[in-house]
Structure 1
Amino acid sequence: MPEGTTLISTIVCKYKHHGTMQPSYRSGRRRVLSPRDERTLVRNVQINPRTTAKDLVKMLEETGTKLSISTVKQVLYRHNLKGRSARKKPLLQNRHKKSKTTVCNCTWGQRLYFLEKCPLNCLAIMTIVMIGGKRGTLASRRTPSRP
């Protein structure tokens, strides 16, 4: 091509050389899994969410496709399926919080709310909410010992 080529001249030259204006195929590695295999993977995970990537690799090897565990994870991530583990202790709901809150009448006559179930012998140091004095005041007080 001459030194002062323009966009139009490059397009014309490309058309004369290739006979089409379609973009050429890009270089790069081909995908290991076909779209059908990807759909099969996603469907298996949606049916059984506890399936491991290792099990999915074994399933695909039976069909004749050899791939690594990281490839399976990438495919699932692409379809917005991410590996997460459930928390060991579930979060408290409002009904749980209500059942844990108890009212205790201590010897000095003030009503105290404890966050744990309070047996009759209150000996521990707890953070309490004063009711009747200043509203919403948090205070730490040693509960009296009972005989």
Structure 2
Amino acid sequence: MVEHSAGILLYRGRGDGLRVLLVHPGGPFWRHKDTGAWSIPKGIITAGEDPLTAARREFAEETGAPAPAGQALELGSVRLRSGKQVTGFAVEGEFDPAALRSNTFHMQWPPRSGRSATFPEVDRAQWFTAAEAAVKLNPAQVEFVRRLDRIHRRPE
């Protein structure tokens, strides 16, 4: 069965002033990875759960702040190279990256050591321009930024 996640692309501004909030995964595997490693705050949709409800929950878990209550723009879904499907929603709002307080996960570290270590699920958050996001984001998720930009460039 294909794993299905949902997430929120928080944004501010329009056109050339568009900025999007991305998060960097925590843990030792991602420590030295940057290009193509960032993501929108997202997570698994539980059985029977509304995707937007899941996206709002995951935003709060990964950033430590509730998702803004504004209108959510549906951005459709993308398929990651892993096969996971991600449904995205864009919500306009503000977030101070210095206020990031992510949930944590436990894993054996170092490998085969028998010891357990705790790591933040997300270790950084940052605002990026659309062009910067195209480099930083997981390649499949770049489509969310393109779709958001197209929505705002449509004539009213």
Pick the structure with greater CA Rg: 1
Higher normalized contact order (CA 8 Å, seq sep 6+, divided by chain length): 2
What TM-score results when the alignment is normalised by the length of structure 1?
Answer: 0.23
What TM-score results when the alignment is normalised by the length of structure 2?
Answer: 0.22
Task: Identify, as 1 or 2, the structure richer in strand.
Answer: 2
Task: Identify, as 1 or 2, the structure richer in helix.
Answer: 1
